[in-house]
Structure 1
Amino acid sequence: MANIETINGYSGAKAADKKKKPWFSFSVLFILPSFLLYTLFVIYPTLNSVNLSFTNWDGVSPEVNYIGFDNFIEMWHSDRVHNALKNTLIMSVALVVLENVVAIVLAMMVDQVRWCKNLFRSIFYFPVLLSGIVMGFVWAIIFNFNFGVISQLLDKAGFSSLKLDWLGNPDYAMIAIIVTTVWKGAGYYMIIYLAGLQGIPPELHEAAAIDGANRWQQFRHVTFPLLAGAMTVSVMLSMIGALKIFDQIAVMTDGGPGFATETMTYIVYKVGFGELRQGYGTALSLVLFLLILLVSLIQVKLLRRREVQM
C-alpha cells in the first residue's frame, strides 16, 4: 500500500509540475523574428495572391475589381495556356530523366577515379555555380546560327550544310534549352548520387563479383536499388526545378520562336508584367503552384514506396 501511495504521489507531483508550466516559453522568442519575416514575405503574399487571382488588376492602378472565376475560365479555354502546359510537361519529363541519368553516370565515374577525385568533382559541379542568366547568354552564343561555336566548327570542318538554327527553329529550340539545363544542373545531382554511392558497403560488390556478376549486373542488382534514397531526393528536386524553369528561356528564346518554348512560369511573367494583367498572371501562378504541389506529392508517394520495396 505504501508503495502504491508513493507511486500515486509521485504521479500527482509530476502532473502538478506539468500544470504549473507556463504556456509561453522563452524559446518562442528565438523563432519569432524568422516567423514574422516568413509571414511577411511568404504567407501573406501567398494568401494575397489567392485574392488577386479573382480580380482584373493590372498591377499599376489602385483600383481592384473582382471578376469571380473569369480568369480561370479564360485559362481553361486558352490555347496559349494549353501550349505552355504541354511545353512545361514535356520539358519536365525530359529534364528529370536526362539530369538524373547524366548525374548517375558522372557520380559513378568520379567514384571510380583514384587520383584527383576532388578535381573532377569540382569540374563537374562548376556549372551549378553559374548564374542562370550568365549560363543562358553563354549557350545562346554557342548555339547562334551565324557566329556560334557549333556553326563555326561545322564551317571549318566543311559541313556547313549540317548547320542548324537551334534557337530560331521551333523544332530545335526546346532541345537547346534542355541540353543547356542538363549541362547546368547535372553536377548538383551528381553530388547527391555520389554521397549515396559512398554509402554503399564495398563488400556487397565484392560478394556480387564472387558470384559471377558483371559490372552491369552489379549496378542493376546492387548499386541501383541502394541509390533509391538519393534518387527520391534528386528526382523530386529536378522535377520542381523543371516546372519552375525561367532563366534559360528568358535569355535564350524569350518564349519563342512564336510560343514554342513558352512554359507556365514564363507565361506568368509575360502576362503579368508584359501585358499588365496581374490578376490573370496571379491566377496562372496559383494553378502552377497547385500543379507543382500535386506532382511533388505523387512523386514522394511513389518513390517512397519504391524505397520500401527495395
Structure 2
Amino acid sequence: MNSAVMKRTMYLFVLPALLMYVVFWIFPILKLFQYSVSDYNGFVQNFNYIGFDNYTQLLKEDIVGSSIANTLIYTLVYVVFCNLIALGLAFLLNMKIRATGLYRTAAYIPTLFSAIVVGFIWSYVYMPDSGLLATAMSWFGFNGEDLNLLGSYNTALYAISTVEVWKHIGTSTIIFLAGLQTVPVDMIEAGKIDGASTWQVTRFIKIPMLATAITINVTLSVINGLKAFDYPFIMTNGGPGRATSTLLVDIFRIAFKEQQFGKGSALAVIAFAMIIVITTFFVLKLNKREVSA
C-alpha cells in the first residue's frame, strides 16, 4: 500500500469522528451565536435579527453581574476544598494500611451517584428541623430546629458548593493517588538519607512530582464549577432570591421558562467566553509551573 492510499485510509477513519464533532459541537455553537443576536423565542422559526440588544438588556438588568459573582464564588469554594481534601485523602490512602482497597472504594462511591440522587439526598440532609444535620446537632445539645442552610441567603450557595465537593472528591482523590504512586521510591529514600523529615519529603519531593495531577484536577474542577447547574437547580432552583442563581441556571430560566431563547443564548455566549478565558488562564499558569517543577 503506497503512502497516498494510506493517507486516504487514515482520513476515512477520522471522518466519522470529525462529522460527529461538527454536527454535535461546532454547529450548535454557531447556532448559539446566531440566536444570541435575534429575538428567537424557541418555538417560531421566523425571527428577526436585533444586533446586540440582548446583550445590552442583560447588562441593564444586572443579571450577568450577579450570575457571574455566584458562579465564581461557587467555583472558588469547589476548587479549593475539593482539591485540598482530595490531596489529603490521597496521601492517607497511599499509606500502607490494612483494607486500603476498601477505603479507596469508599472514597470513590459518591462519584457513582447521579446528580439528581445526590441533590435530593442532600436536600434531606439540610432539611430544617427534621434533617440529618439538624438532628445530629440536637443530639449534641445544639439548636438544630432553626438550621436552614438552603433557605438562608448567606449560606445557600456555600451549602450547595459543599455538595459539589462531596460528589467529585473521589475522582480528584484517584487522580492524586495515581500521581503519588508514580513518585520514584529512590527519590524519597534519598531525601530521607539526607536528613529530610516527613513534611520536607512531602513538600519538596512528592508535591512537586504531583504537578501534572494538580493541573488535571484544578482544570477539571474549574470547568465543573463554572458549569454549575445541577445542584443549584435541583436543591434551590436558584433561590432564595438569586442567592444560588448561577450562569447556567439563569440561562435555563430565561431561555425555557421565560421563552426568550435569543436572550438566553446571549447569556450562554457570555458564559462560554468566560469559561474559555478562565480555563485557558489556569491551564497556562499550571503548565508553566509544571514545566518549572
Could you tell me which residue of structure 1 aligns to residue 205 of structure 2? 222
Equivalent residue number for residue 256 of structure 1: 239
State the distance in 1 between where 2:6 and 2:108 align: 48
Matched, 1:66 2:28: no
> Where has structure 1 moved over 6 Å in runs of 4 or more?
none
Alignment of 1:263-278 (within 5 A): 263-278=246-261
Name the % identity: 37
Quote the residue 2:99 is aligned against.
116
- Give the alignment partner of residue 300 of structure 1, picking from 267, 274, 283: 283
Q: Partner residue of 1:30?
A: 13
Aligned to 2:195: 212
TM normalised by structure 1 equals 0.90
Q: Distance in 2 between matches of 1:107 and 1:125?
A: 11
Distance in 2 between residues matched to 1:144 and 1:91, nearest whole Å: 21
Q: For residue 5 of structure 1, what is the aligned residue in structure 2? A: none
Distance 1:267 1:112, change over 3 A: same
Larger radius of gyration: 1
Shift of 1:63: 2.0
- Change beyond 3 A, Cα 1:203–1:24: closer
Give, as a single letter, the amino acid of the residue that structure 1 aligns with 2:159. A
Q: How does 1:1-310 map to 2 (within 5 A)?
A: 21=4, 25-160=8-143, 163-310=146-293
Q: How many angstroms apart in 2 are the aligned matches of 1:104 and 1:23?
A: 46
In structure 2, do the counterparts of structure 1 residues 115 and 23 end up closer, same or farther at CA, with 3 Å as the change threshold?
Answer: closer
**Are the counterparts in 2 of residues 53 and 71 from structure 1 also a CA contact under 8 Å?**
yes
Cα distance in 1 for residues equivalent to 2:103 and 2:139: 31
Compute the displacement of 1:147 (Å). 1.4
Give the Å deviation of 1:50.
Answer: 0.8
User: Secondary structure of 2:242's partner?
Assistant: coil
Equivalent position amino acid for 2:40 in 1: W
Whether contact under 8 Å (2:33, 2:266) holds in the other structure is yes
Q: Taking structure 1 as reference, are residues 23 and 66 closer, same or farther at Cα in structure 2, changes over 3 Å only? A: farther
* Partner Cα distance (2:139, 2:103) in 1: 31
Paired with 1:150 and 1:199, the residues of 2 have a C-alpha distance of: 39
Tell me, in whole angstroms, the C-alpha distance in 1 between the residues paired with 2:93 and 2:81.
18
Tell me, yes or no, if the aligned pair for 1:154 and 1:163 is still in contact at 8 Å: no
| 1:282 Cα deviation after fit | 0.7
Structure 1 residues 90-99 or 201-210, which shifts more? 201-210
Question: Structure 1, residues 22-53: CA drift from partner, whole Å, max 9, x if none?
Answer: 69712322232232222222211111111111
Q: What secondary structure sits across from 2:16 in the alignment?
A: helix
Q: What are structure 1's unaligned runs of at least 5 residues? A: 1-16
Root-mean-square deviation over aligned CA pairs: 1.7
Q: Deviations over 1:84-137 (max 9, x none)?
A: 100111111111111110110111111003322221111001101111111010
The C-alpha deviation readout for 1:286-310, integer Å capped at 9, x for no partner, is 1111111111111111111101211
Structure 2: runs of 5+ lacking an equivalent: none
Give the TM-score, by structure 2 length: 0.95
Which moves more between the two structures, 180-189 or 110-119?
110-119
- SS where residue 168 of structure 1 aligns? coil
Deviation at 1:207, TM superposition (A): 2.1
Q: Is the 8 A contact 2:129 2:145 kept in 1?
A: no
Task: Return closer, same or farther for 1:187/1:24 CA change in 2, 3 Å cut-off.
Answer: closer
Q: Say if 1:100 and 1:235, in contact at 8 Å, map to a contact too.
A: yes
Q: How many residues align?
A: 292
Give 1:60 shift.
1.4
SS of the equivalent of 2:8 reads: coil
